[in-house]
Structure 1
């Protein structure tokens, strides 16, 4: 199988495959083409890929030659047109959100695998890109918040007096939220966390956070670990309980997402007015509209004296380790897909069935075929 790794567009600094994965793939009989300078932003020179057994290629030659093409960000229409018939494309495509793009790709006869669609089941944990990248986002969100906050995170006892520790609220205790709790605690903050899933209370407390519990939440185990839509009565209780924690917080990290839907607004402008001047919000749900009123994706704004940082691309700010993690996820998926260097697109396997979005001119992703 000929595998082609492309240089990412725009400000994306990660690359799909690390030289470690390339070495293993070449060793198992595959040919790997890497676009010139594809890994430079992740501190991976072309020479490292060549030492691993890859061949450096120009973009057009790679697109027309590779049987399987890797680019994290969605491939542009003009690039997709250069792919050879029957090619397989691997990246992060948000199929529930970008449905028009999915239809276009299906019409081009391209087989699309979207790494963010991998089922959240035990057997697929080693391939779970969302969890890997959420780990990076949760960690970096706290560091970004600390750099913008005009106060210390830890308690300090000095000759000039005692400085009280920062109060940090984490909204959403998934992978990103839990990593944010752990990081904020390591920096010495007092941490509270809220989630609609009562089952995460133990995890929050094990990391040293206080769990803000709102009774009456609905939890759906079939949702793959995600939060689900709640009743209006619960939402009202949630607003009242959250407001108490929000207005006393120095830092808020929001991570609440519902797959395929606009992010729920949990921090309103009325709450912002009551917050401390100089407080900081890092909204990790900004790509889907944000959990905070006033959030603008990939921008930093000040609303009612509160700094709101909308950033959906934090993994790209840590490209070296983020690339290693993403590449490991992709390589583990390829172990399932490639048998003796031949493509094994077995739709009886729930991982492949859940990850494959388009095939042979049709949309095959179950949530889009109902």
Structure 2
């Protein structure tokens, strides 16, 4: 069983899908590991560290020659995997809805594409969940980046020269990233409030010492919604939420937006009119900017990897937020991959054999066809 890791080629991608730690673990399972030269440079991992762990360090796509499994952060162009074995498994993030043409290309190439972002939100798959591990880091980084841009202190400071008031931070969307954003802002000493459409998050917000801000007049989602994600709300709820946010956002110094709906453009949470109510010098970090519709992500007018100023308010967001913490992001992502494959490792066969529940959830292509039910139900585009 040969496992290959190529250098990431997507613009701005500094992460890598394996570390010396996971290389050693895969070798302990009986696999051989090949990695492309320079694959770990963005995550501060030298080729020598991989070689010391037992990997063969090879130039260019030669690392994928005769590979049975290819690991990646962002799915590589199938042309780079021409030397892999027929039916090779490729475990990576694919953006299956947004990059349907690439999924079709994987099917045509006879590769078995495994979309890590389709990992089901079930207890036994928690250690395999790349969205959670990367979102955790993204929520932290969003607050740190916003604090740096803000230009004022976060905690209350009482000095002989006077008192500095604590920053007021409002987190919109309380999934993994939102919860980490709340915790980070609290650790920095800010006064934190948060909102979500899922009623179950109220207690989570309070447990972190933040103030929950919820629409009370219209019912939201009871529990966690489908798969732990929020879903689109009724027009009545959206209207009530917009009114609530408008009243609250005008008093905030920092706003962090984190809302995503799988397979859809990021929902618009903050409009230009709402931005205009905030005081000059305030900051908004749009964690969903990369999933926007061209006019912004959660925030109207946000642009990936740029600071946009509207009405004196600075708006920012990264196309790849977790990638700004490449070393930690790579370590967590690579452990997710190892946990995934090792959980199904057949010692006698020397390869992973996926079960139906998780295998059918993440498998996009097999035997030359697109086989994932979620993609079969969605129109090709």
Whether TM exceeds 0.5 here: the answer is yes
Task: Give the drift of 1:342.
Answer: 3.1
Q: Structure 1 residues 120-129 or 339-348, which shifts more?
A: 339-348
Q: Which moved more, 1:242-251 or 1:213-222?
A: 213-222
**Larger mean Cα displacement after TM superposition, 333-342 or 238-247:** 333-342
Separation in 2, partners of 1:369, 1:219: 29
Conserved 8 A contact 1:219-1:227: no
- Cα deviation for residue 160 of structure 1 reads 1.7
SS of equivalent to 1:253: strand
Aligned counterpart, 1:335: 342
**Structure 1, residues 175-194: CA drift from partner, whole Å, max 9, x if none?**
00000000001111000000
Single out whichever of 339-348 and 183-192 deviates more from structure 2.
339-348
| Counterpart residue number, 1:253 | 256
Distance 2:239 2:260 in 1: 18
* 1:279 maps to which of 279, 282, 297: 282
**227-236 vs 152-161, which moves further:** 152-161
Shift of 1:64: 2.4
Give the superposition deviation at 1:221. Answer: 4.6
Contact 2:200 2:223 in 1 (8 A): no
- Bigger drift between 48-57 and 122-131 goes to 48-57
1:51-200 counterparts in 2 under 5 A? 51-200=52-201
RMSD: 1.5
Q: What SS class does the counterpart of residue 299 from structure 1 fall into? A: coil
Q: 2:98 & 2:7 partners in 1: Cα distance?
A: 24
Contact 2:36-2:61 within 8 A present in 1 as well = no
How far is the alpha carbon of 1:266 from its aligned partner? 0.8
Stretches of structure 1 that go unaligned for 5 or more consecutive residues are none
TM-score, normalising length: structure 2: 0.93
In the TM superposition, what whole-angstrom CA distance separates every residue of 1:150-195 from its partner, at most 9, and x where no partner exists? 2211111112211111110000010000000000011110000000
**Structure 1 residues 316 and 271, CA, compared in 2 at 3 Å: closer, same or farther?**
same
Aligned counterpart in structure 2 of residue 316 of structure 1, from 303, 315, 323: 323
Using the alignment, how far apart are the partners of 1:351 and 1:240 within structure 2?
41
Q: Which residue of 2 aligns with 1:11?
A: 12
1:77: Cα distance to partner?
A: 4.5
1:219–1:228 contact (8 Å) kept in structure 2: no
Partners in 2 of 1:315 and 1:335 — Cα distance? Answer: 24
CA shift for structure 1 position 50: 1.4
Q: Secondary structure at the match of 2:171?
A: strand
Farther-moved stretch of structure 1 (83-92 vs 195-204): 83-92
Distance (whole Å) between structure 2 residues aligned to residue 291 and residue 186 of structure 1? 25
1:326 equivalent in structure 2 = 333
Distance 1:291 1:66 in 2: 40
Q: Which runs of 5+ in 2 are unaligned?
A: none
Q: Secondary structure at the match of 1:198?
A: coil
